[in-house]
A and B are shown apart, each in its own frame.
Chain A
Amino acid sequence: MKILAIVSQTQDTEAKIKVSASGDSVDTEGIKWIMNPYDEFAVEEAIQTKEKHGGEVMIVSMGPGRVIESIRQALAMGADSAVHIKDDSFADIDSFAMGKVLAAEIKKLGDYDIIFTGMKIIDEESGQVAVQVAEELGIPHVSLVSKVVEIDPDGKKAVCQKEIDGGHMVVEVPLPCLITCPDAMNEPRYASLPGIMKAKKKPLTEVTLGDIDLGSIGLSEAEMGKEGARVKTVEMKVPQIERKLKIIKGQDEPMVKGAEVEQAAEELIKLLRDEAKVI
């Protein structure tokens, strides 16, 4: 099987978030860049699929030079090769153009059976690109797949379990298809030391924006940046929710004990009823 995984790099959102001087983005100074956690599930699923059915895993990634670190991580986990669509000007690209560019590059890779990618990217919190890649490729997608039940490479189909509101759904989909990965789908492996050594020798192809014939995929130069984007970020704020911070504690030690428990429960209910008016 030829298995693809689309991998993005994202800001580590554990960090304190500050608005940049321009006011329309997050300040990336001192921010740590990591492989998008959802894409780790995608890479793991791709490798497990290869281990089960044979074949190769190819990583496809789009972004500036730093993205190479996440690509190497995926190769060290066990992927076989990678394509890096590399350009520094991608910062302002919208999902529509990104979907088209990724699909155009994937088409050049020849036939493939299945594509895995994360359900969303944790910094932008946008989940539309994956689905839009599938649309541009003209293949079906199954989103939020909690479990790949079965892949039948000969019968050219896959059976997936997908989480829905209030339950789950099992769907059968013909190959090739694209699958988006939520949390808890699998346990991504760590890159081993030999894996890290081997990764350095694995084939890595670099593609630049100049290599892409934008006209042939119906995109103008302007649509690759902020000017022509269908959607652009004009302002970035940090949420300012003032919380009341009314915390009931014990007399002698922080924890309420003994008779204090009843009082605390009573007091909390009063606050919720009379002040917050939520019960």
Chain B
Amino acid sequence: MNNEVWVVADLKLDGSIRKVTFEAMTEAKNKIAGKLGGQLCGVLIGSGVSGLVSEMGKYGAEKVYVVDNDLLKNYNTEGYTIALSELIKKHEPAVVIAGNTVFGQDYFPRVAARVGAGVTMDAVEIDLTDDKTLRIERFSHSSKAIPTEVFHSHYPMMTTVRPNSFKAVEDPKEPEVIDGGVTINADDIKTKVVEIKTKESDRPELTEAERVVAGGRGLASEENFKHIYELADILGAAAGATRAAVDAGYCPYDMQVGQTGKAVSPNLYIAIAISGSVQHFAGMGSSKVIVAINKDPEAPIFQKCDYGIVGDLFDVLPPFTEKVKALVSEG
């Protein structure tokens, strides 16, 4: 084993690197690589990814391992699993980190099983113990508990990290590029992508948005969700919803925030007509500032938010949105 700390780039379907990768790199460099006396390294796995090396260098990678293969286009489980497993076996890093994205959740545990590593998911704190093993904190029990978990006796130590948990800070380096030299055969790919549907939207994605505006069942119709989208767009925010609103058909499942939807951790979470169930808080309780607009003064959300207005959303939202708009246009 060497002392290298790897961060595997999470790619969007358009081939760009997700923000969580840079967040993980900054945190891994400050909290782990220094104490371990090892280099921070980037890992690029995908098709046509060689051009992304300088991006990884911008956030402090001293070395970048590259597996660039046409078979990895659009992500597939087996290809990514082979690529990362083979890289780990060959170069024996101490720590391997990726974002807790849909793709990260899919292949990372599989790689850990293949290389015999311990793995934790969705960490919100990463650190090194005095014994130089990885220590992480994450949420459990519907975000009502925070376990601290410590690795030992097996390498590498692998974890995914929750987007928006750390701050990405540029630290330009000229990374050494290392061709992974991993062979992937067409026969290795079992799960074949038949179709990809992405939504054309200028809104940021929920899991990495700095601000989120979310609506509950009180919106009362799909049509009324335009109020949510309007405020979201003015704030440059992602749009979210409760399970009740999704189940009622007001908006699609990919907007669902909560235990059974997405976990988000923005700087600002504006909850409109959301009562604040345990299940919803499991997905957004770690937001830095929570704002609630709800007509029920007894709604649980008023016991666990920072700011709120007791009022009917149809009364309050239009003037609020107008004033926010005026403020934003002032700059």
Interface residues in B, total, Cβ within 8 A: 99
Contacts of B306 in A (CB 8 A): 243-246, 276
Q: How far is the CA of A112 from the CA of B122 in the complex (A)?
A: 32
Contacts of A168 in B (CB 8 A): 196-197, 254
Contacts of A225 in B (CB 8 A): none
* A262 close to B196 (CB less than 8 A): no
Contact pick for A125, options B122, B290, B295, CB 8 Å: B122
For B270, give the chain A residue with the smallest CB separation: A272
* A239 close to B143 (CB less than 8 A): yes
The answer to the question of A237 belonging to the interface, with a C-beta cut-off of 8 Å to chain B, is: yes
* A134 close to B103 (CB less than 8 A): no
Contacts of B114 in A (CB 8 A): 135
For B122, give the chain A residue with the smallest CB separation: A125
Take A248-B310, A264-B309, A276-B307 as given contacts and tell me if A234 and B121 are in contact as well, using a CB distance cutoff of 8 Å: no
Contact pick for A233, options B148, B285, B295, CB 8 Å: B148
* B260 close to A247 (CB less than 8 A): no
* A245 close to B145 (CB less than 8 A): no
Q: How far is the CA of A50 from the CA of B150 in the complex (A)?
A: 42
Contact pick for B110, options A125, A135, A167, CB 8 Å: A135
The answer to the question of B244 belonging to the interface, with a C-beta cut-off of 8 Å to chain A, is: no
Contact pick for B151, options A231, A238, A249, CB 8 Å: A231
Q: How far is the CB of A196 from chain B (nearest CB, A)?
A: 26
* A167 close to B198 (CB less than 8 A): yes
The answer to the question of A95 belonging to the interface, with a C-beta cut-off of 8 Å to chain B, is: yes
For A239, give the chain B residue with the smallest CB separation: B146
Q: How far is the CB of B273 from chain A (nearest CB, A)?
A: 13
* A261 close to B319 (CB less than 8 A): yes
Say which one of A73-81, A83-91, A141-149, A208-216 lies at the interface with B.
A141-149
* B320 close to A245 (CB less than 8 A): no
Say which one of A55-63, A64-72, A157-165 lies at the interface with B.
A157-165
Of the candidates A17, A163, A230, the one having the most CB atoms from chain B within 10 angstroms of its own CB is A230
Contacts of A265 in B (CB 8 A): 309, 316, 319-320, 323
* B310 close to A256 (CB less than 8 A): yes
The answer to the question of B154 belonging to the interface, with a C-beta cut-off of 8 Å to chain A, is: yes
Interface residues in A, total, Cβ within 8 A: 87
The answer to the question of A232 belonging to the interface, with a C-beta cut-off of 8 Å to chain B, is: yes
* A272 close to B150 (CB less than 8 A): no
The answer to the question of A21 belonging to the interface, with a C-beta cut-off of 8 Å to chain B, is: no
The answer to the question of A236 belonging to the interface, with a C-beta cut-off of 8 Å to chain B, is: yes
Contacts of A143 in B (CB 8 A): 77, 102, 105-106
* B144 close to A238 (CB less than 8 A): yes
Q: How far is the CA of A24 from the CA of B223 in the complex (A)?
A: 48
Q: How far is the CA of A255 from the CA of B267 in the complex (A)?
A: 27
Q: How far is the CB of A119 from chain B (nearest CB, A)?
A: 8
Of the candidates A13, A19, A127, A231, the one having the most CB atoms from chain B within 10 angstroms of its own CB is A231
* A11 close to B141 (CB less than 8 A): yes
Contacts of A238 in B (CB 8 A): 144-146
Contact pick for A166, options B119, B198, B260, CB 8 Å: B198
* A170 close to B149 (CB less than 8 A): no
Q: How far is the CA of A14 from the CA of B307 in the complex (A)?
A: 25
For B304, give the chain A residue with the smallest CB separation: A243
Contacts of B191 in A (CB 8 A): 140, 142, 171-173
Q: How far is the CB of A152 from chain B (nearest CB, A)?
A: 13
Q: How far is the CA of A169 from the CA of B103 in the complex (A)?
A: 12
Q: How far is the CB of A219 from chain B (nearest CB, A)?
A: 11
Q: How far is the CA of A126 from the CA of B121 in the complex (A)?
A: 7
The answer to the question of B218 belonging to the interface, with a C-beta cut-off of 8 Å to chain A, is: no
The answer to the question of B113 belonging to the interface, with a C-beta cut-off of 8 Å to chain A, is: yes
The answer to the question of A252 belonging to the interface, with a C-beta cut-off of 8 Å to chain B, is: no
* A234 close to B149 (CB less than 8 A): yes
Contacts of A248 in B (CB 8 A): 307-310
Contacts of B315 in A (CB 8 A): 256-257, 261
* B193 close to A128 (CB less than 8 A): no
The answer to the question of B324 belonging to the interface, with a C-beta cut-off of 8 Å to chain A, is: yes
* A140 close to B148 (CB less than 8 A): no
The answer to the question of B47 belonging to the interface, with a C-beta cut-off of 8 Å to chain A, is: no
* B121 close to A165 (CB less than 8 A): no
Q: How far is the CA of A257 from the CA of B314 in the complex (A)?
A: 11
B106-147 residues with Cβ-Cβ distance < 8 A to A are 106, 108-110, 112-114, 116-122, 135, 138-147
* A96 close to B143 (CB less than 8 A): no
The answer to the question of A104 belonging to the interface, with a C-beta cut-off of 8 Å to chain B, is: no
* B194 close to A159 (CB less than 8 A): yes
Q: How far is the CA of A140 from the CA of B78 in the complex (A)?
A: 8
4 A-B pairs besides A144-B105, A234-B148 with CB distance below 8 A are: A131-B110, A166-B254, A183-B260, A237-B146
- For the complex of A and B, list the 9 residue pairs with the smallest distance between their C-beta atoms, beginning with the closest: A230-B118, A183-B260, A128-B109, A167-B198, A254-B297, A13-B142, A140-B190, A135-B113, A235-B148
- Give 9 A-B contacts (CB < 8 Å), ordered by A residue: A14-B278, A26-B141, A127-B105, A131-B106, A142-B191, A144-B105, A168-B197, A174-B190, A243-B306
